[in-house]
Chains A and B, each alone.
Chain A
Amino acid sequence: MSKKTFIGLCFVPLAILVAAFFVLPMARLVVTGASGHDGLRTYAAILLDPRYRATLINTILLATATTLATLVISTISGLFLQRHHFPGRAVLIAMLTFPLAFPGVVVGFMIILLAGRQGLIGDVTLRLLGDKQVFAYSLQGLFLGYLYFSIPRVILTIMAAVEKLDPSLEEAARALGAGPWRVVRDVVLPALAPAFIASGAIAFATAMGAFGTAFTLATDIDVLPMLIYTEFTLSANFAVAAALSVGLGLVTWAILALARSFGGNTVAAAG
C-alpha cells in the first residue's frame, strides 16, 4: 500500500463523518427553511419581520455583552490568580471553575435563587430599600446566567495564557520606563489577544445558542433559541424554525469570522 493510498483511506472516515453529521443535516435544514408556503421568503423574514428582527438583535447584543463582560472579569481575575499566591487560592480557583459541569437548567435555577421572587437579592433590597428587586426572569437575569456559564470556561484559557507570558517582556517594558498600566496595555493585553479571541469566540457562540438557562428563567424572553423553540414545538412552524436556525448559525459564524480577522494581525504577531 503506497503512502498516498493510506492517506486516502484515512480520509474516508472523515468524509463519512462530515457527510453524516454536518453536510446532510445542514442541507436538510436549509431545504426545510425554504419549504414553507412562503418559500425562500421565510429567510428574508428573519430580517424583515419586526419580531424576528428584534429578537435577532437582542440575542446578538446579549451575546456581545456577555462576551465582553466575561473577558473583562476573567482577565482581571485570571491575571490576579495566576500572579498572586495566597492561602485559599486553590479553593477559589476550584469554586470559579465548579460551574463548568452545570447544565443551563441548573444555572437558571441558581439565578432564580439569587434574583428571583424569593431570591437573595430581593430579600436584601426589600429590607434595605423597602423595594423588592427581582430581575431573574428578564434579559438581565439571562445575562447574569450566561456570565456564570462563560466565566469558568474563559478564565481557564486566560490563566493558561497568562502563565505562558514571557516575564522578560514585561521587565523589558518596565526597564524602558513603562508603569504598571502601560505594561498591561502595551505588553500583556496584546500578548493575550489570541486567548481573548479563542475563548471569547466560545463564550459568544455559547451565549448565542444557549437555551437551557433561558428556558428555565422564562418562556417569554426574546432570544433566538427560545424563538426557535416556540416556533418549532408550539406553532409546529418547521420552516420558520429551520430558517431561524440557519440564520442563527450564519450570524454567529460571520461575527466570529469578523472578530478573528480583526484580531488576526495581533494573533500572528504575538505568535
Chain B
Amino acid sequence: MSGNDKTNGHGVALRVHACAKTFADGTRALEPVTLDVARGETVVLLGPSGCGKTTLLRIIAGLETPDAGGRILFNEADVTRVPIERRNVGMVFQSYALFPNMNVSDNIGYGLKIRGVSEAERKARIAELVALTGIAGLEHRRVDQLSGGQRQRVALARAVAARPSVLLLDEPLTALDAALRERLRGELNRLLRTLGITAIYVTHDQAEAMALGDRIVVMRRGAIAQVGTPRDIYFAPANRFVAEFVGAANILEAECNAGVLLLPGGRLALANDAAAAALNGHANGRIFAMIRPESIRIIAPDGAALTGEVDSVSFVGDRQRAAIGGVAGKPIMVDVPNSTPIKAGDRVGLSVDPGDIRVLAGDTA
C-alpha cells in the first residue's frame, strides 16, 4: 500500500500514450489515442455505441493490453504491463457486478480485506462510505435485496473504498430510470468533487457528460474527435460530428461571400475572423456553419435579413421547438419561448448574433 501514501486518495495524474487496440479477430476498436488527465480531474469519454469508449477504459484499467507502442502511465510510472489487480484502480460496471454471495458491507470492504486492512479499520471505512453514499442502514442486506439505485451506490462505495489511483466508471447510470439517473448524476458529481479523485467516466449520454466532466473526450470510430471543457465542446465543436452529437445543432452548408452566408432564405452575417479562417484566406467558397437552436431569435419578417415559414411547432415543456422551412436546404430548428405565439404556416424573420455562428473547419462527416 505504499502507493497510497503518495496519492492519499486523490488519485494520480494519468497519461494514455498512443494506445491502439486491435482485437484477436482483427477488429480495430481503437486508433492510437493519446490523452492526459490531471490529478483529481474528471474526464468523460463520450461517443456513440461502438466507438471504443469501453475499450479505452479497459486499457486504462489493465483489463486489456494496448497494441505494441501504447503505454499507460500513472504519475509518470509505466503501468502498461502491471495487471489490474496490482494497478490499484476502482471500477464501476454498468451491471454493478456486486458479489451476490456477500452482503453490502462485505462487498464494500472486499478490497480492504484483500489488502490486509484490520477489521476495525475496515469497519470505520465502511461506515464512512455508507454515510457518504447515503446507504447507511443497509450494511447487512444481501445485494439482491437492493434497488437499482442502492446497488449503484454500493458499487461506487466498493470501488473507492481502498482509495484507488483512478476511478473508472463505465456507464454507471445507464441501467436506471430517467428520474433516478438525474438525481444520482448530481450525487455522483458531488461525490467526485468531495473525493477529489482522478476519474474516467464513460457515457453515451451527452447531458451526463456535460454535468460531470471537467473535460469531455468526444470519440468517434476509435479515435478522439475533440477534447475540451463542456463549454468548448458545446459552443466550439471542432467538427460537424461533434456539433451534431453534442446537443441539437443546425448545420448549414452554404456559399460564403465577403463574410456573409448566402442562404435560400436570405443573408446571414458571420463574425469577420470566423469566415476568413474557414476559407483559408479566400474571399469566398462553400462552408459549413453551425447554429444552436437556442441562439436563433424569431423576429418580425418585414425587413429581416433572413426569413422563412414555420413548418411545425412542438411543445417541449419549458419552451417550444419550431422547424422553420425555406431558410436553408433543410428545415432549421429554433427554440422559441412559450410566451411567443407561433404556429405552422406563419412567416417569420430570424436573427442570429454573428458570435453564435460557428464555422466548422475541414469537415469529415
Contact = CB atoms under 8 A, between A and B. Distances in A.
Interface string B76-103: 0000000111101111010101111100
| Contact residues on A (Cβ < 8 Å of other chain), bracket | 20 to 34
A113 to B, nearest CB: 42
Contacts of A266: 101
Contacts of B115: 177
Given A174-B84, A190-B99, 13 more contacts: A169-B99, A172-B98, A174-B63, A175-B85, A176-B110, A177-B85, A177-B86, A182-B114, A186-B99, A187-B99, A191-B100, A269-B101, A271-B100
Given A174-B84, A175-B61, A269 B93 contact: no
Interface string A131-158: 0000000000000000000000000000
B100 A176 contact: no
Main secondary structure of the interface of A (DSSP, over half): helix
Contacts of A171: 63, 84, 91, 93, 97
Given A172-B97, A175-B84, A271 B144 contact: yes
B308 interface: no
A258 interface: no
A176 B101 contact: no
Given A171-B63, A271-B144, A176 B97 contact: no
A266 B97 CA distance: 17
Contacts of B63: 171, 174
12 contacts: A166-B95, A168-B93, A172-B91, A172-B98, A174-B84, A174-B85, A175-B89, A175-B91, A176-B114, A177-B88, A178-B110, A270-B100
A179 B91 contact: no
Contacts of A168: 93, 95, 97
Given A176-B158, A177-B115, A270 B101 contact: yes
Interface residues of B, number: 26
B92 to A, nearest CB: 9
Interface in A161-217: 166, 168-169, 171-179, 182, 186-187, 190-191
A158 B196 CA distance: 44
Contact of A173 (B61, B90, B95, B110): B110
Interface of B: 61, 63, 83-86, 88-91, 93, 95, 97-101, 110-111, 114-115, 142, 144, 158-159, 162
A58 B84 CA distance: 48
Nearest to A168: B97
A266 B144 CA distance: 13
Residue of A172, A175, A270 most packed against chain B (CB within 10 A): A175
A179 B83 CA distance: 10
Contacts of B91: 171-172, 175
Given A190-B101, A191-B100, A270-B100, A176 B95 contact: no
Contacts of B88: 177
Q: Which 7 A-B pairs have the closest CB atoms?
A: A176-B111, A190-B101, A168-B97, A172-B97, A175-B91, A177-B114, A168-B93
B82 to A, nearest CB: 12
A177 B111 contact: yes
Contacts of A177: 85-86, 88, 111, 114-115, 162
A270 to B, nearest CB: 5
Contacts of A190: 99-101
Contacts of A191: 100-101
Contacts of A173: 99, 110
B158 to A, nearest CB: 7
Given A176-B114, A177-B162, A178-B114, A269 B100 contact: yes
A270 B88 CA distance: 27
B84 to A, nearest CB: 5
A174 B82 CA distance: 12
B97 A169 contact: yes
A186 B84 CA distance: 17
Contacts of B84: 171, 174-175
A4 to B, nearest CB: 34
Residue of B97, B114, B162 most packed against chain A (CB within 10 A): B97
Contacts of B97: 166, 168-169, 171-172
Residue of B83, B90, B98, B101 most packed against chain A (CB within 10 A): B101
A269 B95 contact: no
